Amino acid sequence: MSLVFPVQLCCVPIASTLEETGQMNNRQARGERGNILVVDDIPDNLDLLCSLLSRKGFSVAVADSGVTALQMIEENVPDLILLDICMPQMDGYEVCQALKNNPFTKDIPVIFISALDEVLDKVKAFRVGGVDYITKPFHMAEVLARVNSHIAIHQLQRQLEEQNELLRQEIRDRLAAETALQVANQELQRLAHMDGLTQVANRRNFDSTLAQEWRRLAREQQYLSLILCDVDFFKRYNDTYGHQVGDDCLRNIASSISTALKRPSDLVARYGGEEFAVILPNTPLQGATHVAREIQAAVRTLGMTHSGSSVSKFVTLSIGISSVIPLAKFSPMSLVAAADRALYRAKLEGRDRICAEEVHYRVKDEIVLDDSDDLELSNE
C-alpha cells in the first residue's frame, strides 16, 4: 500500500495551450517542468501525487471528480492529465472520451492510473485515447518516469506544431507576396499597353495585336478588317475650348467607340493624337462598315458642340476602312496603308463620312519571319 504524505494543496493554475509561443520555454527557464492535472476521487491519492510531482518541479492542480476536471480544463489546459477510472458520476473513460471529442483538448496526453488491472480495462483505456496506463498501487519511480516521458513528448510535439505553424505562416505570407507581385505585374502590363489619357489600347498594343491577328488569320484564311477614325477639325476644337476640354472630348470618343464594339476580340486603340484605330478579326468589309456606322452614330449621340467645325455644329468623325484575307508573306502595314488612304479620301470628300479602300499588296511590303516570329519589313 502506498504511503500518504501530508501536504497542503496550494497548486498553481494550469497553463493554457492557447498561450503565446515561447511561454513554455519561459516556464522551463524558471524551473517549471510542466502543468499536470491529477483527477482522483480519493484525497490520499491526490495528496500523494501532488506532493511528489510538486517536489519534482511540476505545477500541479487537482480535481476530485470527472465533472470538476472538465470544468477546470475549460479555463486552464494542462500539459498532462493523470486520470483515475473508478469515480462517481463520470468515470475516467467518459472523461477521456469527452476530452478527445473536443478539438481544443484532444491533444492533451492522458495517463490512466487505476486499480483495475485486467487486460480489457487497459485496452479500453487506450481505445478511448489514453497514452499510458499505471496500475495501483503505483510506484513513485514509475509514475515519475512515465510522467517525464509523456511531458517531454507533449512539449516536443507542441514545439514542432509551433514551428510548423511558423512555416505555414511563412508559406502563406510568401504566397500572398507572390500573388500581390503577380497582380502588380499584371497591372504594369495593362498600363504598358494602355493609353494614359483615353484608357484604351495604346499604339504599342495596337501594333502587337495587329501583327498577331495578321499571322493567325493568314493561317486560317479569314478576313481581317481595320477602321481608322479621325476627329474632324480637332485642332480648331482645342483652340476654341482649350486642351482640357479637348482631352475630355477624346476620352468620350474612346468610350463611345469601345461601347460600339460587341466582341471581346475587337480592339480599339489610340493610334495617335486625335486618331483611333479598331482591329476587327474575322470580319469582312460589310461587317466592318456596319461597325463604323455604329461608331459614327455613337459619337454623334454624344452631342459635343463644335463651333469650329465646317461640317457640323457637333463633333464628328471621318472614317477609313480596309479589309483583306492576310497573306503571310506580306506585312500588315499594307492593311494600315489601305485604311489610311480611305481615311484621307473621307477627309478629301468633305469629312464626317466613311470610305473604304482595297488592299494592294506590293513587292516592297513582303516580309521575312525571323527566329522569334516577329514581322519585319523587307528593305529589298
Q: In this predicted model, what pLDDT tens digit does every residue of 193-224 receive, in sequence order?
A: 899 899 999 999 999 999 999 999 999 999 99
Q: Is the pLDDT higher at 7 or at 116?
A: 116
Element (H, E) at 320: strand 317-324
Is the pLDDT at 12 greater than 60? The verdict is: no
Task: State the pLDDT at residue 364.
Answer: 61
In angstroms, the CA 340 to CA 348 distance is: 12
Is the pLDDT at 8 greater than 80? The verdict is: no
Is the pLDDT at 24 greater than 70? The verdict is: no
Give 163's pLDDT tier (boundaries 50, 70, 90).
Answer: very high
Q: In this predicted model, what pLDDT tens digit does every residue of 44-82 receive, in sequence order?
A: 999 999 999 999 989 999 999 999 999 999 999 999 999
User: What secondary structure letter does DSSP report for 365?
Assistant: G
Is the pLDDT at 328 greater than 80? The verdict is: yes
Task: Catalogue the E-assigned strands of 23-141.
Answer: 35-39, 59-63, 80-83, 110-114, 132-135
Is the pLDDT at 180 greater than 80? The verdict is: yes
The mean per-residue pLDDT over the stretch 344-372 comes to 78
Burial 189-209 (b: 16+ CB within 10 A, else e): eeeebbbeebebbbeebbbeb
The mean per-residue pLDDT over the stretch 95-102 comes to 95
The mean per-residue pLDDT over the stretch 160-167 comes to 92
Q: In this predicted model, what pLDDT tens digit does every residue of 235-286 receive, in sequence order?
A: 999 999 999 999 999 999 999 999 999 899 999 999 999 999 999 999 999 9
Task: State the pLDDT at residue 367.
Answer: 59
Indicate the residue type of 150: H
Among residues 255, 234, 254, the alpha carbon closest in space to that of 245 is found at 234
Give 16's pLDDT tier (boundaries 50, 70, 90).
Answer: very low
Task: State the pLDDT at residue 7.
Answer: 31
Instruction: Give the torsion sign (CA, 119, 125, 128, 129).
Output: negative
Q: Which residues, in sequence order, are CB contacts of 99 under 8 Å at separation 6+?
A: 70, 73, 81, 105, 106, 108, 110, 129
In angstroms, the CA 239 to CA 276 distance is: 20
User: What secondary structure letter does DSSP report for 355?
Assistant: E
List the grid coordinates of 359: 488592299
**Backbone Cα Rg of the chain:** 42
Is the pLDDT at 3 greater than 80? The verdict is: no
In angstroms, the CA 327 to CA 217 distance is: 8
Query: DSSP for 224-284?
Result: EEEEEEEETTHHHHHHHH-HHHHHHHHHHHHHHHHHH--STT-EEEEEETTEEEEEEET--
Q: Is the pLDDT higher at 15 or at 363?
A: 363
The mean per-residue pLDDT over the stretch 325-336 comes to 93
Give 20's pLDDT tier (boundaries 50, 70, 90).
Answer: very low
Kindly list the structural domains of the chain, giving each domain's residue range(s) and its CATH number in brackets, ordered by start.
Answer: 23-165 (3.40.50.2300), 203-377 (3.30.70.270)
What percent of the chain is modeled with pLDDT above 70? 87
Inter-CA distances, 179 with 163, 185, 191, 192, Å: 24, 10, 18, 20
Is the pLDDT at 13 greater than 50? The verdict is: no
What average pLDDT does the structure give for the chain?
A: 87
Is the pLDDT at 131 greater than 60? The verdict is: yes
Is the pLDDT at 19 greater than 50? The verdict is: no
Is the pLDDT at 368 greater than 80? The verdict is: no
Task: State the pLDDT at residue 138.
Answer: 87
The mean per-residue pLDDT over the stretch 301-313 comes to 95
